[in-house]
Amino acid sequence: MGGQESTGWFNSVVAYDAEDTRRRIFAAATAEFAEYGLAGARVDRIATAARANKQAIYLYYGGKEKLFAAILRAKLEEVRACVLIDPDAVAESVGQLFDWYQQHPELIRLLLWEALEGQDEPDESDRERRDAFREKARYLVDGGVARRRPEAERVRAAQDMMFTIMGLIAWNFAVPRMCRMILDEESEQAALARRRDTVVEAARALAADAGLRSRAAD
């Protein structure tokens, strides 16, 4: 009996340590990829920052390319789960999405690196993301986007609306210095505060043009 208890305790400790190692690798790799991209990232730097050995990275993630893909997939899933564009409150949802990107600037950097270094051939991650965006577009269509148009046009209107909103938000964090200079603000915080207000109002106008409602400004 005592031997079984000891084995169970040992297995639980090993499982916890493995999960903790995964988390450390994930956090270290996120920072490394955001800073250097896929080509410039180094597995030995990730291992050092994660307090893990390189073998663990290959064991848990299968290599640098798969680790990058896993991080990008997880980050996109995180934002998808955290913020959904509510057809009844588009502007407010966009404000929340803006705040999320401001709190997680690594996602924009990862997406930019992916665009610079990514492969042309679609992979499983591309299919997963496409399916997720289709769900989002369907949610907006069901919420009333372009309700007087034919179905196919409504879907396209929802897709265009989503991508326009993504561009309105993302560009602020892709080129923060340019944002600060054009707005002639002394600090990045002041520039982003202005941009948030502008993006929210732009989203409100987009929602009205698409036939959606939006609550009063917060």
- 24-60 confidence digits (pLDDT tens): 999 999 999 999 999 999 999 999 999 999 999 999 9
Read off the pLDDT band of 17 (50, 70, 90). Answer: confident
Q: How much is the pLDDT for 78?
A: 83
**Mean pLDDT score, 148-153:** 94
pTM of the model: 0.80
Q: Residue 217: is its pLDDT beyond 50?
A: no
The pair of structure tokens assigned to 170 is 């993302």
Cβ density class 134-171: b for 16+ within 10 Å, e for less: eeebebbbebbbbeeeeeeebbbbbbebbeebeebbbe
Read off the pLDDT band of 75 (50, 70, 90). Answer: confident
Q: How much is the pLDDT for 213?
A: 62
Q: How much is the pLDDT for 121?
A: 64
Distance CA 156, CA 70 (A): 29
Amino acid in position 85 = I
Cβ density class 58-71: b for 16+ within 10 Å, e for less: eebbeebeebbbbb
CA 143 → CA 24, 91, 157, 179, distances in Å? 40, 14, 12, 33
Which of these ranges, 8-17, 78-87, 98-107, has the smallest mean pLDDT? Answer: 8-17
Angle between helical axes of 64-82 and 106-117 (0-180°, round to 10): 130
Q: How much is the pLDDT for 218?
A: 43
How many CB atoms are closer than 10 A to CB 39? 9
The pair of structure tokens assigned to 144 is 């009333």
Side-chain half-sphere exposure of 137, counting CA atoms within 13 A: 20
Q: How much is the pLDDT for 14?
A: 42
